[in-house]
Structure 1
Amino acid sequence: MIIEQIYTGCLEQGAYYIQSGNEAAIIDPLREVEPYINKATSAGVQIKYVFETHFHADFVSGHLDLAQKTGAQIIYGPKAETGFHAYVAHDHEEFKVGEAIIRVLHTPGHTIESTCYLLIDEAGKETALFSGDTLFIGDVGRPDLAQKSDSLTKQDLAGYLYESLRAKIMTLSDDILVYPAHGAGSACGKNMSKETSDTLGNQKRSNYALRSDMTKAEFIAEVTQGLQPPPAYFPLNVKMNKDGYESFEKVLYRGMRPLTPDNFEIVANAIGALMLDTRDAQSFAKEFIPNAINIGIDGSFAPWVGALIPDIDMPILLIAEDGREEEVLTRLARVGYDNAVGFLQGGVAAWKASGKETDSIRSVTPEELNDISKQQPIEILDVRKESEFTAEHLLDAENFPLDHINDHLAKLDRKKTYYVHCAGGYRSMIFNSMLRARGFEDLVDVKGGFKALKGSGGFEISNYVCPSTLL
């Protein structure tokens, strides 16, 4: 028997390939399904089932395309209602994959249809638990992502989760391996470990949510405390996963349309397309197309697209490094942004060569910023998360989290100069590009972010800030 975790770092997402005999099953596949098909083909096995742990909110699953291409049956747990053909299993129902068995464990809590899958090997031993968003390493799934039609509060779902964990999971053997759908960095939980698997026994000892002496009321209070609002694209991804979506090949075909600078400009003006520049932050700062937004592909690209571009159906024009256009389109499609309509052939160099205007954003090093601060008062914006800022920040900086850029925009003065930093330079350029497109002219990016500022030794660091003073 083969168990392979296929982990995608930009989404902190784990899909799973299980093979026994001449059959295979895939759990929670990503949108692009060729890697799973190629793996099965190379092994000479047939993909028999596609198991979904729940209707994912943070990415669009590849269940439909995978089933269409392989003939595999899509399996959901109890309470799932889909807009396409799928088999909704009963609690404790078993499915045979080669000589192995996958048992359905309905574990409502993260969502009402959330289900774990228990793998029983060829010798009849319970071996692994594919826990979806029910149980993470170090955490459990947040209970506030239910669809509005479910009429369930986060307290209701937290109560279900408490019962699910204690009745269905904590009763299992300590040596079972836990394979969750996400790791640290995902917005589907609060306190996930960077580890992407563990034994159940270790989780029983170390995971706060599995404490044997915890009451239901205590559990509900703890798992509902401190939840940040989910990204706006989450319910849109749930809808796509539940109702269906356009095939990935069609999305890719439409987006891989090369456009000359003239045609790029015509399309942008004609349909009001968002110009998305996916180059690295400093390349963008030096020269970019006016009004383009920078979200670098070499970072948490898809989650930031989902968090900051509210209209999932907005037409998008791409500006990417040569040869990386398909990669960008793939990562957009993973979170449901399927309406890319083309890319700038030849990139910014071609745009310049055609005589068209470019813009730039000034960047300074921490040393340069220190020299400026000695000559005049300066205003520093720290666009890291509130928790990062609270832990440690420059003494005179003001917190303006990128996550909530639209909530506090009115507090900024277009006539002032702002020096902007994040942790390392990725988020600050996103912030600067978005404000620049809205008419803010005097934004200066700090190269290297807080890490570089702290390392320069030229700035006083504060390790605490009263929460009431935060934006």
Structure 2
Amino acid sequence: MNIEQIYTGCLAQGAYYITSNGEAAIIDPLREIQPYLDKLEKDGVKLKYIFETHFHADFVSGHLDLAKATGADIVYGPNADPAFDCIVAEDEQVFEIGNITIKALHTPGHTMESTTYLLKDDNGKDEAIFSGDTLFLGDVGRPDLAQKAANMTQDELAGHLYDSLMTKIMPLADDVTVYPAHGAGSACGKNMMKETVDTLGNQKKVNYALNQPNKEAFIEAVTDGLLPPPAYFGANVAMNKKGYKNVDEVIKTGLTALSPKEFETAAEGTGALILDTRANGDFAKGFIPNSISIGIGGDFAPWVGAMIGDVQQELLLVTDPGMEEEVVIRLSRVGFDNVIGYLNGGFEAWTKEDREIDKVDRITPEEFENRFNKEESVVYDVRKESEYEAEHVEEAYSRPLSNINEWMKDINPEEHFFMHCAGGYRSMIASSILQSRGYRNFTEVEGGMGAISKTNVPKSDFVCQSKTL
């Protein structure tokens, strides 16, 4: 038996590849399936089952294309009602893969079809659980995403989640390995650990949600402080449930190379949004007017989903040369299938033709220190509230990037403000959005709070973030 976690950092997502005696199973696969096909061929095994822990909201799964390519059966848990053929498992139904078995444990709460898969080794011993979004390391799945579909409140879903955890997972042995669907950085939870694998015994000790005295306390703890879900979540659920385009077709269309003239014509003749995926420092020095900066080097796909929201939005790409396919694939992972082309030769090709460019007013942290006046300077901190609470520039306003459409309305266009995040990635996203909406009365600080903390700019007392959760 072999269990391999295939972790994708930019999505904070874990897929699982399991083999035993010539057969294989894959749990929660990503949309691009070729890496899985390569593994199957290399190992000389046949894919028997594709297990889905639930209808994912934060990424588009590869279950449909993978089933078509291999003939494997797709398995969902009880209550699932997809628009395609699959096995809807009964609670505690057992599936054989080579010499091992996987038992479906229905664990509703995050969604009503949510299912944890319990793997037993060739001796029948409980070896591991693939807990999906039911149990994370340090947290549990948020219970607010399926309210509409389940006709329940988030408190009612949280109650189901408590029952699932207490009756299906907590009774399992401490040495059972926990393989969750997500890790730190995912919007599917609020307090995840940076580790991606742990023992159930340790989670019983350290996971705040598993240590509440009763159901009422659990409900209060897991629903407290939930941020609104990103706008693209509903569309991803629909794609996973109803179907989607073949990823190869999406990539082929997205890799349409456009000359600067063709790019400009496409931008003017369609409703396409120009998405610039270069590093934030390069973007600040020059970009095509009205472009939105979301760098491929950060949490790219989730921020695209959160900031753009509409997966049907047509996109034109500006990338570093050679990164075009990588960008199109990452966009497809979160359902953005309508890339209509990219700027051939990158931003350099644009500037070689002396076409119009724009810039962001960016200064170094040392310049910020020289210009900062505690009594007069206005500072916007676009990090998460928990980061702001841990430490911030004195008198700075907390303006999380995720809420930019709300706080943007309150900007006084006649008042200058400084803006920063933790390292420059999120503040450049905010800068590009603000400038595309006509706001230019701000200065962005290079390096963010990480660099500002090394200056003499007055700051609040540091508070460990783990104590603020």
**Secondary structure of 1:178's match?**
strand
Deviation of 1:399 after TM superposition, in Å, equals 1.8
Q: Which consecutive residues of structure 2, in runs of 5 or more, have no partner in the other structure? A: 464-469
1:10 aligns with 2:1: no
Residue equivalent to 1:468: none
Question: How many correspondences in the alignment?
Answer: 463
Residue equivalent to 2:139: 139
- Amino acid in structure 2 at the alignment position of 1:433: S
Deviation of 1:276 after TM superposition, in Å, equals 0.2
1:219-230 aligned at under 5 Å gives the runs 219-230=218-229
- Amino acid in structure 1 at the alignment position of 2:252: Y
- Amino acid in structure 2 at the alignment position of 1:60: V
Residue equivalent to 1:384: 383
Question: What do the CA deviations read for 1:361-418 (whole angstroms, capped 9, x no partner)?
Answer: 1211111122223699432211111221122111132222111000011211223332
- Amino acid in structure 2 at the alignment position of 1:326: E
Residue equivalent to 1:317: 316
Residue equivalent to 2:112: 112
Deviation of 1:58 after TM superposition, in Å, equals 0.7
Residue equivalent to 2:282: 283
Shift of the 390–19 alpha-carbon distance from structure 1 to 2, 3 Å rule, reads same
Question: What do the CA deviations read for 1:254-296 (whole angstroms, capped 9, x no partner)?
Answer: 1000000111111111112100000000100101000001000
Deviation of 1:310 after TM superposition, in Å, equals 2.4
Normalising by the residue count of structure 1, what TM-score does the alignment of the two structures yield?
0.96
Residue equivalent to 1:98: 98
Residue equivalent to 1:469: none
Residue equivalent to 2:156: 156
1:336 aligns with 2:335: yes
1:125 aligns with 2:119: no
2: CA distance, partners of 1:238 / 1:254: 23
Q: Decide which of 456, 460, 463 is 1:462's aligned counterpart.
A: 460
* Contact 2:137–2:183 (CA under 8 A) maintained in structure 1: yes
Question: What do the CA deviations read for 1:150-192 (whole angstroms, capped 9, x no partner)?
Answer: 2011111111111111111111111110100011111111211
Residue equivalent to 1:441: 440
- Amino acid in structure 1 at the alignment position of 2:265: I
- Amino acid in structure 1 at the alignment position of 2:436: A
Residue equivalent to 1:250: 249
1:62 aligns with 2:62: yes
2: CA distance, partners of 1:377 / 1:199: 52
| Range 98-107 or range 394-403, more displaced | 394-403
- Amino acid in structure 2 at the alignment position of 1:214: P
1: CA distance, partners of 2:102 / 2:317: 42
- Amino acid in structure 1 at the alignment position of 2:419: V
Residue equivalent to 1:261: 260
Question: What do the CA deviations read for 1:75-133 (whole angstroms, capped 9, x no partner)?
Answer: 00000000111110111111111111111100001100000001111121110100001
Deviation of 1:459 after TM superposition, in Å, equals 0.6
1:178-327 aligned at under 5 Å gives the runs 178-211=178-211, 214-327=213-326
* Contact 1:177–1:199 (CA under 8 A) maintained in structure 2: yes
- Amino acid in structure 2 at the alignment position of 1:462: S
1:417 aligns with 2:410: no
1: CA distance, partners of 2:160 / 2:374: 60
**Secondary structure of 1:427's match?**
helix
Normalising by the residue count of structure 2, what TM-score does the alignment of the two structures yield?
0.96
Residue equivalent to 2:35: 35
Deviation of 1:194 after TM superposition, in Å, equals 0.8
**Secondary structure of 1:219's match?**
helix
Deviation of 1:339 after TM superposition, in Å, equals 0.6
2: CA distance, partners of 1:336 / 1:281: 24
Shift of the 358–52 alpha-carbon distance from structure 1 to 2, 3 Å rule, reads same
Residue equivalent to 2:467: none
1: CA distance, partners of 2:462 / 2:245: 48
Aligned CA RMSD, in angstroms, stands at 1.5
Question: What do the CA deviations read for 1:220-248 (whole angstroms, capped 9, x no partner)?
Answer: 11111111111111111111111111111
| Range 412-421 or range 373-382, more displaced | 373-382
**Secondary structure of 2:14's match?**
strand
1: CA distance, partners of 2:214 / 2:399: 38
2: CA distance, partners of 1:398 / 1:225: 22
* Contact 1:94–1:102 (CA under 8 A) maintained in structure 2: yes
2: CA distance, partners of 1:388 / 1:152: 32
Deviation of 1:463 after TM superposition, in Å, equals 3.3
2: CA distance, partners of 1:129 / 1:292: 44
Deviation of 1:214 after TM superposition, in Å, equals 2.0
* Contact 2:372–2:457 (CA under 8 A) maintained in structure 1: no
* Contact 2:374–2:394 (CA under 8 A) maintained in structure 1: no
**Secondary structure of 2:389's match?**
helix
1: CA distance, partners of 2:171 / 2:399: 45
* Contact 2:54–2:111 (CA under 8 A) maintained in structure 1: yes
Identity, in percent, stands at 56
2: CA distance, partners of 1:414 / 1:464: 32
1: CA distance, partners of 2:202 / 2:388: 32
Deviation of 1:147 after TM superposition, in Å, equals 5.1
